[in-house]
Structure 1
């Protein structure tokens, strides 16, 4: 049964690390009249949309939720799925605002004096709304996916848990971002035949010259680079993350080595038919492009070490361990290859359709300046490169949340009191002068 409309100062949509972080700062700044509305449970995406062997790809020391840094014994390690959930749950215990779980936000509408947030348990009237649900909402599939025979299982990366859930036979994985590469490795280590279709994902070193590449980049100030300072800001927001892994203490992902171990690599998926996939003959092009990114990071680290006179061990030059045959294979026949499953790892598109305001671009992403929109009182948090590389990660969410909390506090001081407060004040003044 729905409750009657309620009033609060701030409605926060989303109970992940972004929503919890902004709530924490609002309370710290004295704005206690707030609610968090979570469609599922706190930390849902970590809890329910990651595979069993999932772990962070950035070191634990970059987990910096507000006043809640990583508190374990392995700052240079990579937390496993259950450890991540426990870390977020511990932070949630520090949040004093009411958290309503199992509540879906149906719409956000602008009113003359604020916003109306309609939900499955009633409506809230508020001065400010913070969307803290990220932007990874609807997983993507290519045109023609419906042609795949019904006997072949199709799942998204968010549905994958472990090799045992996949029917016997070969597996085609489409997309080689972080999820695609790590799921491909998980299946290959379990002895499954994997056919991996490549996109434009770059790759990164893991350990280089005596230290994790993430630690070098942080020391170099890379993660403090703001969106406006980035040499190609739009590419940054729309780009694919570098692939590497924290598995078994952390290591590089080299798809060429996967191929040496028996994984079949294909170029960009161009056509889906009832009998199989057809790809472009661009495996070498994709691998070379990923290697250029890898070598570029190494070069920047080398330059930093040289410029600062740092004593760091030398590394041998990179030499590719495998190259695709020429001509490249472009056809995959499901039946002859014994393909039983397809896992789609093509990323996501945003779905902010519940926000009934004209603030979105052609991709469905909000126009904003560091999370502040042109619609006074409406804010976004947890989006890729909202401000820096860490904006959608544990590394930078606190900085962004503090900024939005400050913006809400400043607006609170500027905005006239709500009509009912004005009325109450007028009645009080009238009574005092009568």
Structure 2
């Protein structure tokens, strides 16, 4: 798939730069040509000699090298590749990209290019979670930059959390997807995600415990496979998926309206944890304590989005996938839900507190369809998403 593809690899400054050597080797194994570019900080972690030896090409570093400018100007270098990969992408380098700075070869190449760009962030967890970095990531995604990772794990500094650069084979897979015409090219897919917030009064609401991480991962995996993804999300903690059209909602009624407005689609994946009930008459003012009296709340049932779409006549998606988060009798309850809702598949998972799945980084699911129940091993939510996206592609192609 990567035979004779040209990759411009920009290596930023961080301990994760050592992974770039393995990345080059893996890309060359697959027949890709790799042109390495080292930032000044990157050269502190890996040497130009080691990089160029593995790539089989000169490692570029200096914007003001007149010989290189005569033989291969930075404009030509930035546009001669099929894909530009930044790995590791440090907080500093991403900040330069987001704000259009160009004070060295790497940042100048990234500003001068019209080639697609894929970045693999790597930094301390506090740097990744800092509001400035979050703003820069949002800007870059809005500019069409693709991301792979970061992963969660132990850092070289001893801290734990998101910020580890993706492993070389994960980056290779992302590169292959970025350069391939994916199996879902030309398909339009709806994904719902996150919780809904149903107001009690202006400061209180009813919600489910959902981070939105699995929905984001599914939308990202579908987009990587070429799908035109519409992502309808409640107020979730998780990042929004790059490459998708984002529709933000708050309540179940708003989500229902958003879903109806984006039809028709080829497939719909309902991963959102929609609140089953809402307060029938939410107060316009904050409800005050009243001498120890407990306020009475009258509830109304929210619209059933999954059932409504599953039972559509004309315009029904070819494939409708629901989720069933259960705490007991998982398979039996999820199978009954599929029958009741009339969807094609149900993705069932056990969200009992002891599983650590709700709000965690892993999932353990069972796919329930006409063919029965297929239990998948516990794996990361990104892996679940890629496996599900592959199954969706196969089903739509059948």
Shorter-chain-normalised TM-score: which range?
under 0.3
Name the structure, 1 or 2, with higher relative contact order (CA <8 Å, separation 6+). Answer: 1
Q: Taking structure 2 as the reference length, what is the TM-score of the superposition?
A: 0.23
TM-score by length of 1: 0.21
